[in-house]
Structure 1
């Protein structure tokens, strides 16, 4: 027993040192990520300007080619009819044609240089994006590894020889959490954080303008209000993605109706919701589970199904809450989506829905075949007697 305890202590020491080293590397990687994102934005802005210049120079070259061609025709005509035109006319026609030819040559060289610059920037942008994607992937993997290593040493030892479905699911959950954290970080950095910086600059500008130009200051204050309004909207969307506040304020059905309305506004997919029974008074855990399962099902429809219509039925009986979600999309082979192998390869959506149902002693079934759409059935017991009877 003492030897085992010593072994655990050694493993914990190794894990502690490993975690410390990984977390130090993680901080450095975050700096690289920030620098690479800034580099991407810088290249994108520069590329946008170059593309505008290329478009402008192409138009100028096209116009100059037409004018230069006319000048050559005019020179040929003057030279051919030398008995009609004097020496000065011929000289002027030649100089005009020669000047236009030189201008056209210079413009074409400028066009070629700009196009090369554009292609170089496009290549740099692609390479930088690849580096950014790799860095984000490594960052996620490091975060997952750190979270996993922080687990109890005994738990790690007990599962080393038996990598089961639950382990893979646990890793997937951590990956999903890290992806969500990264998404939130990007959303906050690119949205509210940038807007707040802009608001600060605008506020400082207004403070100075109030002393010299009141009219301009009022215009800037109006712009400041618009930025603040957009910023507030972005923050509310981020909060809604974390947890819809309407679940607490209005309940499950109004929250689903609002989500379905927004879904139809953003996608060309008709969603019909039908409710049977009095869907109120449920525990918070049940409402959150049902909302997230419906949300995930609609996300899958939007991403994978090519469906035109979705039917959602929510029914409350004396003993159970039943939910049915069906679409008229392309469907899929069900065995390819919810097997253990698929957990490792990325099919986490259906598994997360199933896990949510099982946490509430419920059941989730998926029926689908290529060409006939997909149906998801969710059933959650509302009391222990029903759950015992079902077993």
Structure 2
């Protein structure tokens, strides 16, 4: 969907969607009715079939009794053939044989009827499930139609803002994943590698203790130095993730520490100037100011190729003003700040969003080969309470 959405076209799309859902609802209702009718027909057929099965079972039981009696009669006649005539013996045999055939056929009929009954019960069960699902779907479609056909006033006016939030959400997720990858790489290349080295050094020291104690002492000294450096790396990673010194030392010392680390890493000259007393009470504003400066310095380190940076804080009674200036290569402001295209960085957009969330103002000036200037103002005091 494009950024500038045609509201009229959207309205037409919604109307067509409602029409399609209404047509679908009618078709679902027809399916439901057909399924109900089929269920009724199957139910009637099943009742009739059950009666047939019951009658067949009763007929089988009756034939079984007659067949048993005929076999007993045949047995008596056969044993006492001198008392009975040949016609009596023939009649007894024919009766027994006839009942046996009739019983076999009736049992087969019973078996087939039971099979039909079971199949019909399965059909009834499936038809009943279709009815229940169709009724449930009809109800859900009705709810959806209720929402779509209800009061849509103000929805389209919010679409552009929702779209921006969606893009921002995607950017935030990507930034989080990039940050996780960065932290993972830092841990892998730093503390993880160091820990592996420590294990090897410890194993070497263990072997040297019995062979060369002096060399073992030297290796232990090296091992201590490696542990110290690893501890520094871990503390740096933790500090980048969450500057605990904000609570312990306050905003200004935390920024000073950030600046010192930046200068060590980049050899860029940084002037940090503070005017006014630091009376910022709300931790969310302190953290936002710190993150703005941290993000700006990260962008300078990655892209600006600057030699000199100025960071200036003017802390007033009702607002705090932040100015960040560098003499780097500059960039196209509209492309980097206002665009949400995947090719552009997230840093400056992140700064802008942080400022907007605190109802502040931001102005970014930059030209190619002429450096960058960022001016930010954030309300304090009474307005500060709105962010709690």
The offset of 1:343, in angstroms, is 4.0
Q: Partners of 1:214 and 1:381 in 2: how far apart?
A: 65
Q: Partners of 1:385 and 1:233 in 2: how far apart?
A: 39
- Does the residue aligned with 1:345 lie in a helix, a strand or coil? coil
Alignment-derived partner of residue 346 in structure 1 = 344
Residues 282 and 384 of structure 2 are in contact (CA less than 8 Å); yes or no, is this contact kept in structure 1? no
The offset of 1:266, in angstroms, is 2.9
Provide, for residues 335-355 of structure 1, a one-character-per-residue CA deviation record: whole Å limited to 9, x for no partner: 222224x44332311110011
From the superposition, tell whether residues 320 and 306 of structure 1 become closer, same or farther in structure 2 (CA, over 3 Å). same
The offset of 1:334, in angstroms, is 1.9
Alignment-derived partner of residue 311 in structure 1 = 310
Number of residue equivalences: 236
TM-score by length of 2: 0.54
Displaced runs of 4 or more, over 6 A: 159-163
Q: Flag structure 2 segments of 5+ consecutive residues without an equivalent.
A: 1-134, 142-157
- Does the residue aligned with 1:376 lie in a helix, a strand or coil? strand
After superposition, the CA RMSD in angstroms is 3.0
Instruction: Tell me which of 376, 379, 385 is aligned to 2:377.
Output: 379
Q: What are the within-5 Å matches in structure 2 for residues 15-54 of structure 1? A: none
- Does the residue aligned with 1:318 lie in a helix, a strand or coil? coil
Q: Flag structure 1 segments of 5+ consecutive residues without an equivalent.
A: 8-158
Q: Which moved more, 1:372-381 or 1:200-209?
A: 200-209
Provide, for residues 274-312 of structure 1, a one-character-per-residue CA deviation record: whole Å limited to 9, x for no partner: 111111443221121111111211222233334332222
Q: Which moved more, 1:300-309 or 1:168-177?
A: 300-309
- Does the residue aligned with 1:313 lie in a helix, a strand or coil? strand
**Structure with the greater alpha carbon radius of gyration:** 2
Alignment-derived partner of residue 265 in structure 2 = 266
From the superposition, tell whether residues 332 and 199 of structure 1 become closer, same or farther in structure 2 (CA, over 3 Å). closer
From the superposition, tell whether residues 161 and 258 of structure 1 become closer, same or farther in structure 2 (CA, over 3 Å). closer
Q: Partners of 1:198 and 1:230 in 2: how far apart?
A: 12
Residues 326 and 376 of structure 1 are in contact (CA less than 8 Å); yes or no, is this contact kept in structure 2? yes
Alignment-derived partner of residue 11 in structure 1 = none
Q: Partners of 1:387 and 1:252 in 2: how far apart?
A: 19
Provide, for residues 13-53 of structure 1, a one-character-per-residue CA deviation record: whole Å limited to 9, x for no partner: xxxxxxxxxxxxxxxxxxxxxxxxxxxxxxxxxxxxxxxxx
The offset of 1:160, in angstroms, is 11
Residues 335 and 344 of structure 2 are in contact (CA less than 8 Å); yes or no, is this contact kept in structure 1? no
Alignment-derived partner of residue 31 in structure 2 = none
Residues 361 and 387 of structure 1 are in contact (CA less than 8 Å); yes or no, is this contact kept in structure 2? no
Q: Partners of 2:226 and 2:238 in 1: how far apart?
A: 18
From the superposition, tell whether residues 266 and 209 of structure 1 become closer, same or farther in structure 2 (CA, over 3 Å). closer
Alignment-derived partner of residue 220 in structure 1 = 219
From the superposition, tell whether residues 301 and 192 of structure 1 become closer, same or farther in structure 2 (CA, over 3 Å). closer
- Does the residue aligned with 1:344 lie in a helix, a strand or coil? coil
Q: Partners of 1:268 and 1:258 in 2: how far apart?
A: 15
- Does the residue aligned with 1:314 lie in a helix, a strand or coil? strand
Q: Partners of 1:201 and 1:372 in 2: how far apart?
A: 51
Q: What are the within-5 Å matches in structure 2 for residues 352-391 of structure 1? A: 352-385=350-383
Residues 313 and 324 of structure 1 are in contact (CA less than 8 Å); yes or no, is this contact kept in structure 2? yes
Q: Partners of 1:181 and 1:361 in 2: how far apart?
A: 29
- Does the residue aligned with 2:351 lie in a helix, a strand or coil? helix
The offset of 1:203, in angstroms, is 2.3
Q: Partners of 1:348 and 1:355 in 2: how far apart?
A: 10
